[in-house]
Amino acid sequence: MVTEEGYLKLHPPVVYNPLTGIEGYNEAAVGKRPIALVVENDPKARPQWGIDDPEKSPDIILEGEMEGGETRTLWFYADMNSLPSQVGPLRSARPPYVRFSELFDAIFVHCGFSRTTWDYTGADTVFEEDQVDHIDMLHYDNATGVFDRDYTRTSMLEHTAFLRGERVADTVAAFGFRTDADLSRYTVFEFRRNEEPAEPETFAGLAGAANAAVAAYLAPPEEPEEPAGTPCRTIDCTFSSATDTRHFEYSEADGMYHTQDYYTDVARTNVLILFDTTQYISKADYWGAGQEELYCDYLFTGGTGKLASAGKVEDITWAVENGKIVLRNQDGEPALLTPGKTWIGWCSGNKGGSATTAE
């Protein structure tokens, strides 16, 4: 007879990364808060340090418009102990990126921030009003040595700041931040999986049921559910009429979408496009010399979107409900991602954002 202990040795509980749905996640990180990093996206800063790390690239890369047609990225790591040794260049915080990180209960890491002036509400106000746990390279004594600068590529100061990944956890501990995740405000996408063999309710005296369960476990796994949608070989994402376009191509060899737009090969299992309502807010006399800066503000209204995965694309809708992002397919059911890493294009639905696909 197979005992419960013996069965669990053959069929141990599967631990998944909450942001990627990939098996083999660090059990010590289960139930812990993720880290969100603001990373520069100026062409002079590409390829960003860590974006193409073969083992520790970001779990999620979000890209959206910042100001003046420029974009910035926000990188998420579910396990703060699994960052590359060099990540960056880090850049300053903007309110939409701070608020997006709050949808994952993330600890926010940045290098500077926009300030409230006149009609513009800066990241400084959002930090204070929302009580966001954040670490700012420009206002931290760096006692843990988590921040550094690399001048090997450029002397432009804003493109040199980076994070030492192996020192993040110690830095979070030094700040005394809460590390247990508040699951009520932690967005976790739903993933397409193989069917799991049913476990018997009890093992004592149920040799037949236990042996049947073991047999099911040893049998070949069922094929995963096919992704919904229509064939999608390429997908192009434009954040607004003022921005550049990101181009992804699907590879059947590895089942991933690839882009060279970051000046290196960045591969993602899922490409998720979210159309939001945006507005431009003028920060008058920005530099004290009569200059004006137009910041792009996202309103988190939800709306339509597209999900490209496993060579297919489907139309979806998205919304923020009870502090979390919810994705639905055209039938109103949860939209399922393929286990793997995701790129999110945060687009303006009212100012020229677009997503174009081709078979």
pLDDT at 355: 98
Mean pLDDT of the 43-69 span:
96
Q: Is the pLDDT of residue 178 over 60?
A: yes
pLDDT at 214: 39
Give percent above pLDDT 90 in the chain: 80
pLDDT at 3: 61
Spell out the SS3 assignment of the chain: CCCHHHHHHHCCCCCECCCCCCECCCHHHCCECCEEEEECCCHHHCCCECCCCCCCCCCEEEEEEEECCEEEEEEEECCCCCCCCCEECECCECHHHHHHHHCCCCEEEECCECCCECCECCHHHHHHHCCCCEEEHHHCCCCCCCEEECCCCCCCHHHCEEECHHHHHHHHHHHCCCCECCHHHCCCCEECCCCCCCCCCCCCCCHHHHHHHHHHHHCCCCCCCCCCCEECCEEEEECCCCCCEEEEEEECCCCEEEECCCCCCEEECEEEEEEECEEEEEEECCCCCCCEEEEEEECCCCEEEEEEECCEEEEEEEEEECCEEEEECCCCCECEECCCCEEEEEEECCCCCEEEEEC
pLDDT grade for 303, boundaries at 50, 70 and 90: very high
Mean pLDDT of the 318-322 span:
98
Mean pLDDT of the 335-357 span:
98
pLDDT at 287: 53
Gap between the Cα atoms of 293 and 284, Å rounded: 7
Q: What is the pLDDT of residues 92-132, one digit of tens each?
A: 999 999 999 999 999 999 999 999 987 889 999 999 999 99
Mean pLDDT of the 52-66 span:
97
Structural domains of the chain, with CATH: 27-183 (3.50.90.10), 230-358 (3.50.90.10)
Q: Is the pLDDT of residue 258 over 70?
A: yes
pLDDT at 290: 55
Range with the poorest average pLDDT among 34-38, 185-189, 293-297: 293-297
Mean pLDDT of the 68-77 span:
96
SS3 content of the chain, % helix, strand, coil (to 5): 15, 35, 50
Mean pLDDT computed over every residue of the chain: 89
pTM of the predicted model, to two decimals? 0.89
Give percent above pLDDT 70 in the chain: 85
pLDDT grade for 218, boundaries at 50, 70 and 90: very low
Q: What is the pLDDT of residues 193-212, one digit of tens each?
A: 754 444 444 434 434 444 44
pLDDT at 284: 65
